[in-house]
């Protein structure tokens, strides 16, 4: 979850995508076959419209950091007058350090987190209960928390060497409960140390011991410009994407970033995107997003800020616990704000009984012979043959 002056935590329910699903049988044939399309990938790139974290390709890299190359991260360990640490910092570092390898594999080696721990406890000037975490924390309170941690650590670290900061509290600090992301406000003086502006920070809470190291990957992805994909209200917080992306469920069964987000980040290239921006058709051989190379996503543009995306998912790597495999189809709307469902998975098996530890939406992958149609947009996706790492699809837009 990101914290900023522009966006505090919003609450809303997302509307379901309007679509029809035909399983195991072909939809009625079109009256005339549309021409084959060879449109460039750029024709399917969607601009962001929220002014903040979203799924658009027009990320403001003065506000967010680029998700390419090596990001140098300073890890600070803080305790408090009312919640003092005991023991070394090593267990805390080991809890979060695997985030670096996870990000490297998820990005096909294009993004590296160089996490440097400052191996000492830094005492914060105020009690842990004074920073506002238990009341949801405002941007001003959050910035002050980061400011005080940076000031306390400044005698021992050169902040000019780092792109961002991780701030890890002692286990005894129960009041520091959750892990928001600090994104600076470029219109204010903000926080400066060693002549460099501190623009991005993740302030971990006690939930890091529940979520594990992937909480660092989730929160760092906010600094790259991604929104939350889970719902902020209702009884089913995972009704939009289930466990298919760690921006929805950090502990999901298939938590690797969606192919659309990999394209947004520059982890996959335009040549790996099959685009259908207008009426026409394309047959595409998709390679599983968990494995490098090949065509990664097929995109059917349906509006200025909307598209359907198809990608191949397999139980490989960080997705080894995936509840279903095959073609994942989802709707993207770059005008929809964080928590409202900017990505919504289409369930290819709505009648399936989830396996233990899986939700209904985790069973969403489409299989050979299935068809998805959305009459409102003229979109049709037919799933063809499958191999261990590939799926063939035909996509059409009337």
Do 250 and 383 lie in one domain? The reply is: yes
Contact 121, 85 (CB under 8 A): yes
- Would you place residue 6 in the very low, low, confident or very high pLDDT band (cuts 50, 70, 90)? very low
Helix (H, G, I), strand (E, B) or coil at 219: helix
Contact 106, 64 (CB under 8 A): no
- Work out whether the CA dihedral 82, 86, 89, 95 comes out positive or negative: negative
Which pTM does this prediction carry?
0.91
Residues composing the chain: 398
pLDDT higher than 60, residue 254: yes
pLDDT for res 16: 35
How many domains does the chain divide into?
A: 2
pLDDT tens digits, one per residue of 316-328: 999 999 999 999 9
DSSP 261: H
Mean residue pLDDT of the chain comes to 92
Do 51 and 23 lie in one domain? The reply is: yes
Contact 216, 75 (CB under 8 A): no
Pairing of strands 164-169, 200-203: parallel
Residue 231 lies in a domain: no
- Would you place residue 30 in the very low, low, confident or very high pLDDT band (cuts 50, 70, 90)? very low
Q: Which residue range(s) make up the domain with 314?
A: 2-58+237-397
Do 257 and 345 lie in one domain? The reply is: yes
pLDDT for res 83: 98
Q: Which of 5-14, 86-95, 287-296 has the lowest mean pLDDT?
A: 5-14
pLDDT tens digits, one per residue of 166-200: 999 999 999 999 999 999 999 999 999 999 999 99
Residue 356 lies in a domain: yes
Instruction: Show which of 223, 258, 281 is a domain's final residue.
Output: 223
């Amino acid at each position: 979850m990101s914290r900023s002056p522009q966006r505090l935590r919003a609450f809303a329910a997302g509307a379901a995508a309007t679509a029809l699903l035909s399983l195991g049988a072909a939809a009625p044939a079109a009256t005339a076959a549309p021409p084959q399309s060879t449109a460039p990938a750029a024709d399917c790139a969607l601009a962001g419209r929220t002014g903040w974290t979203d799924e658009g390709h027009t990320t403001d890299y003065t506000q967010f950091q680029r998700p390419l190359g090596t990001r140098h991260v300073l890890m600070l360990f803080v305790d408090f007058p009312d919640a003092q640490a005991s023991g070394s910092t090593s267990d805390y570092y080991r809890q979060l350090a695997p985030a670096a390898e996870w990000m490297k594999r998820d990005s096909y080696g294009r993004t590296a987190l160089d996490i440097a721990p400052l191996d000492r406890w830094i005492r914060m000037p105020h009690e842990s209960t004074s920073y506002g975490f238990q009341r949801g924390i405002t941007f001003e309170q959050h910035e002050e928390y980061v400011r005080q941690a940076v000031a306390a650590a400044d005698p021992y670290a050169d902040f000019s060497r780092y792109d961002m900061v991780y701030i890890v509290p002692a286990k005894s600090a129960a009041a520091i409960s959750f892990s928001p992301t600090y994104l600076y406000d470029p219109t204010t003086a903000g926080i400066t140390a060693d002549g460099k502006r501190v623009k991005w920070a993740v302030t971990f809470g006690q939930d890091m011991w529940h979520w594990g190291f992937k909480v660092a990957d989730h929160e760092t992805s906010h600094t790259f410009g991604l929104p939350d994909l889970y719902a902020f209200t209702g009884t089913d917080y995972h009704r939009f994407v289930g466990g298919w992306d760690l921006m929805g469920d950090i502990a999901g069964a298939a938590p690797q970033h969606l192919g659309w987000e990999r394209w947004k980040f520059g982890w996959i290239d335009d040549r790996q995107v099959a685009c259908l921006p207008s009426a026409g058709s394309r047959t595409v051989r998709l390679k599983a997003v968990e494995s490098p190379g090949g065509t990664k996503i097929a995109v059917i543009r349906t509006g200025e800020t909307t598209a359907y995306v198809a990608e191949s998912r397999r139980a490989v790597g960080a997705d080894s616990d995936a509840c279903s495999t095959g073609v994942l189809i989802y709707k993207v709307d770059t005008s929809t704000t964080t928590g409202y469902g900017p990505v919504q998975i289409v369930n290819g098996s709505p009648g399936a009984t989830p396996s233990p530890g899986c939700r209904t939406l985790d069973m969403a992958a489409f299989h050979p012979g299935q068809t998805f149609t959305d009459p409102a947009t003229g979109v049709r996706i037919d799933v063809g043959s499958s191999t261990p790492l590939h799926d063939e699809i035909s996509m059409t837009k009337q």
